[in-house]
Amino acid sequence: MASLLIQDDFFINTLSPKPGIVIWYSRIPDIIALILRNGNYHNFKPMVNEIFKKNDFTQSFLSETELDVVNGFKALKKQVEWISGRYMIKKMAAHFFLTDTPLDTITLSYLDEGAPFVSGHPHIPLSLSHSNEYTAVACNFSTVHPIGIDIEIIARMPDLPFLNTAFTQNELLLLERNAPCVFKNWTIKEAFLKYIKKGFNESLHKVEVIHGEIFHHRIKADVDIFSHTIDSGYILSLVCGRS
């Protein structure tokens, strides 16, 4: 793991699980403190939405259309997550392939299945995830093959109804019954669904993680899996094509 200085003393954590693939992740409160003049949103979860204006931000990175999208959300939590993810993706694009491009002119589009890409660059796969206080983005600069990333807080050990919803009986027979292992396998499943551009449109029971391999509809997937624990409190996983 390395850190990338973005501005003043703000660092983004970076990972490169294989050549051409880059993961950035950071704490949402740190991002908000950097980009909002009133960055005191440490307890934003129970709060209703705010109406943001251009001058509420310390730097211009949202277009007018994007600002309308933000102000259309009904909860501040959703607004803060969306703003943080959008900032990270735009900074990544500007850092790697849209250098000297104003951030507020970098826009995102979405495939029919919901996967994001930088407008005008659909050949560069992106993936985005957030959980609690962290957001993570990933980009594949080496090929046009898709990627999928998921990050989750490692909460207490889930109960049996959750396990039965998230995992098949085959998986449960082999799954270590501790929270880090459960959430690791859960993030792998979620990342794979993004990789195949299914997201919430495919049942978690159609994807099995067994002995470190992914099986989709009982067929072994030809993919690489990368997982990383953050400060013992979060786990992120990335799925990409095997090469």
Per-residue confidence (pLDDT) for residue 49, from 0 to 100: 85
Strand arrangement, sheet containing 126-131: 2-7, 10-18, 21-27, 134-140, 126-131
Confidence (pLDDT) at 144: 78
Q: pTM of the predicted model, to two decimals?
A: 0.92
Domains and CATH numbers, the chain: 14-144 (3.90.470.20), 150-241 (3.90.470.20)
Nearest to 210 by CA among 181, 235, 238: 181
Neighbours of 88 (CB within 10 A): 22
Residues of the chain where predicted confidence (pLDDT) is lower than 70 = 1-9, 39-46
Tens-digit pLDDT profile for residues 109-151: 887 777 788 999 988 999 999 999 999 999 998 877 899 999 9
* pLDDT recorded at residue 11: 79
CA distance between the termini of the chain: 22
pLDDT for res 132: 92
**Enclosing H/E stretch for 228:** strand 223-230
